[in-house]
Amino acid sequence: MSVDAEVNENDLAEMVEQVWMSYLDPEGVSPLIPTYDENQPSEVHSSVSITGSWTGHVVYASSTAAARRAAAAFLALETDEVSQDDLADVLGELANIVGGNVKAMLPPGALLSLPQVVLAPDSAARYPNAERISGVYGVWDGEPVSVSMWQSRSDNKEEEDA
């Protein structure tokens, strides 16, 4: 039997809004506009894994242009000054921030991994035995950005073990 995560789409949306307010859009002029399209494309992504009271992944995915813009906002640079390292570090930090906030809402006994960054679409990740349970999908200045939660399926493991 799977245990439902105690974090729903509204919670995720609130976390995302706080990230925008604090770092990506402090002036409040360029919010993430929801598309509700879970199949929107991405070019880069980052994730943290959570194990324990809930087991799964929190994934941040976006276009390269949106990642570059996020890195520029985080590091107070112009977008053309952003290096590949800047881009990867900022993507990792974004997954870490949202993952840490998700962890704080879970029952005690959850462990957060260090972030992993992949400069390829999130569809390339293929989290084994995990299904997407919620997500926030939107466009930021016309560029796709999403944050999604993938829950590990313990029933799949049991089937494999049988």
Partner 1 sequence: MKILIADDSRVMRQIVVRTLRQAGFGDHDLIEAADGRQAFDMAKAESPDLIISDWNMPEMTGVEVLRQLRATGDDVRFGFVTSECTPEMQQQAEAAGALFFIVKPFTAERFDEVFAPILG
Report if residue 66 touches partner 1, rule: CB under 8 A: no
Report if residue 22 touches partner 1, rule: CB under 8 A: yes
Residue among 108 and 142 whose Cβ is closer to partner 1: 108
Q: Shortest distance, CB of residue 14 to partner 1, whole angstroms?
A: 11
Residue among 114 and 124 whose Cβ is closer to partner 1: 114
Report if residue 12 touches partner 1, rule: CB under 8 A: no
* 142: CB partners within 8 A, 6+ apart: none
Report if residue 56 touches partner 1, rule: CB under 8 A: no
In the block, tokens 């929107």 appear at 40
Report if residue 92 touches partner 1, rule: CB under 8 A: yes
